[in-house]
Structure 1
Amino acid sequence: MVTESGVASSPDHLSFSQLVFSDYERYRPGARASWPAVIVRLPSLPGLLASLILRSQQCLYRAGRRRLADQLRTLANVLIGADLGAGMTVGPGFMMAHPVGTTIGFGLVIGRDVTFAGGVTCAARYYDERGADNQEFATIGDGAVIGANAVLVGGVTIGRRAMVGANSVVLSDVPDGAVVMGSPARRVGSRDVTEAAS
C-alpha cells in the first residue's frame, strides 16, 4: 500500500531478516539473499554494513529498546563514518551506495527502494533544545534517488522516483518524478514514475 505522499506503508510488519535481505537484493540484483551471502559481502559493501546497523536500530527502536538503538549510532560512526540516529522509518530495499558522511535520524521517513549516494544529510530546519520530537524531518517517496552531499532541510517531501542532484539543498517539496538540482534546489527535468506506481 502506498500513501498519498508516495511512501509505502510502514515496514513495521517486516522482520529484521526481511529488511536486511531486501537491502542486500539492491546491491546484488538477482542473487538469492541469505545470511551467509550477506556476511560474505559485508567486507566489500560498506553500504550493506550500514544497512545492518540501521536495520538493527530500526527494529530495536520499534521494540522499545531505544537506549540500545541510540548506542548503535556510535558503532556506525566508528565503523563506516555515518551518523545514523535511531527513530527513523525506512522501507525495504534501502541502498546507501557510499555511506561515509551520511547523516540521517529521528523522524525521517523513507519509502521502498530508495537510493542514497554519499554524504547525504537530512536535517531539521532549526535546532530545538526540547529535542528531536519537536522537529520536522523529510519524507522520501518510493524509488527516489538522493545524490551525493545533498541536504534535505526540515519536513520536505521528496516524491516518488524523484531525483535530487549532488550538492543540492532542498528547502521545499519535490513532486513525483521531478529531477532537482542546485542550492536552493530547482526543477531541471523529469523521470518516469510508472515503475513506482505498483
Structure 2
Amino acid sequence: MFERLVAYLDSVKARDPAPRSRWEVLTYPGVWALFYHRIAHWLFEAELFFLARLVNHWSRMVTAIDIHPGATIGKNFFIDHGFSVIGETAEIGDNVTIYQCVTLGGTNPTNGKAGKRHPTIEDEVIIGSGAQVIGPITIGRRARIGANAVVTDDVPEGATMIGLKARSTLVPAEQWIKEFIPYGTPCDDPCAPSRDCVEKLETELKMLRAEVEALRSDREPAPRSGTDD
C-alpha cells in the first residue's frame, strides 16, 4: 500500500511543477477527495448507501470536490484544485487529470430513471478548467478537453476539443501529442496549422494593400508643372 501511495504522489508531482516534495502533494484537496472517495465507493458497493453518502458529504465540505460514491475511478487520478463535480455513473480510467471547476454531468435528471447517465473518461485524458462533459459519452484515450469547452458527443482518441459547443482543433486525431499537456490546451505544435494559416492571410493582405495603393497612384492625375500663361 505504501508503494502504491508513493507512486501516486509521484504521478501527481510529475504533472504539477508547484510541489517541492511528496509531503506538499499530501495537502492537495484533490488527493484527499480521492482518498475519501475510495472509502465511499467501498461502502457504496457494499450497499451501505447512507454511510457512503456521509463520507461523500464530509469530503465535499473539506475539499470542495463532489464525487458521487458510485463513480468508478482508476489509478493515478488527479484533480488539480477543487470545485469539480463527478456524477454517479461516471467511469474514469488511469492517469486522468482534471483541473478546477469541471463537471462530469448526467442527462435526463428529471425522469428519475437509473442507468448510464454520465461520461466515460478513458486513460490519460486531460480536462481543462471549467469544462463541462455531459451525458453517457466516451472521451477517448489521451484526448484533451480545453478550458471551458462543453462536450456532449463522443471524442475520438487523441483529439483536442475546444469551444462551446466543443469542436475538434485543426490537428487530426492521428497526429495527437503523446506527452502531458497542462490544462489540456495545446499552445505549441498543435496550433502550428492555424498559425500558418494566419500568417498566409496576413501576407496576402499586405500584397492586396500594395496593389490597391498602386492602382490609386495610377488613377491620380499627375501634378501640373510651370505657370499659367
> Are 2:55 and 1:72 aligned?
yes
Which residues in structure 2 correspond to 1:9-28 (within 5 Å)? 23-28=8-13
Using the TM superposition, name which of 180-189 and 17-26 deviates more.
17-26
1:140-195 Cα offsets, whole Å, 9 max, x none, are: 01000011011011111100000000001001000000000011110013523599
The reply to whether residue 62 of structure 1 matches residue 61 of structure 2 is no
Q: CA 1:70/1:176 → structure 2, altered by over 3 Å: closer, same or farther?
A: same
Report the number of matched residues: 170
- Structure of higher RCO (CA pairs closer than 8 Å, 6+ residues apart): 1
Task: Supply the distance in 2 between the matched residues of 1:69 and 1:115 (Cα, whole angstroms).
Answer: 24
1:41-190 alignment to 2 at 5 Å? 41=24, 44-98=27-81, 100-130=82-112, 133-188=114-169, 189=171, 190=173
**Higher strand share goes to which structure?**
1
Q: CA deviation at 1:19?
A: 6.9
Contact conserved, 1:148 with 1:167, CA < 8 A, in 2?
yes
- Give CA-to-partner distance per residue, 1:6-37, whole Å, 9 cap, x none: xxxxxxxxx8x7875554232235xxxxxxx9
| Mapped contact 1:128–1:135 kept (Cα < 8 A) | no
**Cα separation, 2, equivalents of 1:109 and 1:115:** 13
Gaps of 5+ in 2: 15-20, 181-229
Q: Quote the offset at 1:48 in angstroms.
A: 1.1
Give TM-score scaled by structure 2 length.
Answer: 0.66
Spell out, residue by residue over 1:82-124, the C-alpha distance to the aligned partner (whole angstroms, 9 max, x if none): 11111011111100011x2101121000010000000110111
Cα distance in structure 1, aligned partners of 2:84 and 2:139: 17
Percent of aligned pairs sharing the same letter: 28
Quote the Cα distance in structure 1 between the aligned partners of 2:117 and 2:7: 27
What SS does the corresponding residue of 2:168 show, helix, strand or coil?
strand
Cα RMSD of the aligned pairs, angstroms, is 2.6
Change (3 A) 1:19 1:151: farther
* Higher Cα Rg, which structure: 2
Rounded to whole Å, the distance in 2 between the matches of 1:161 and 1:84 is 22
Q: Report the structure, 1 or 2, having the larger helix content.
A: 2
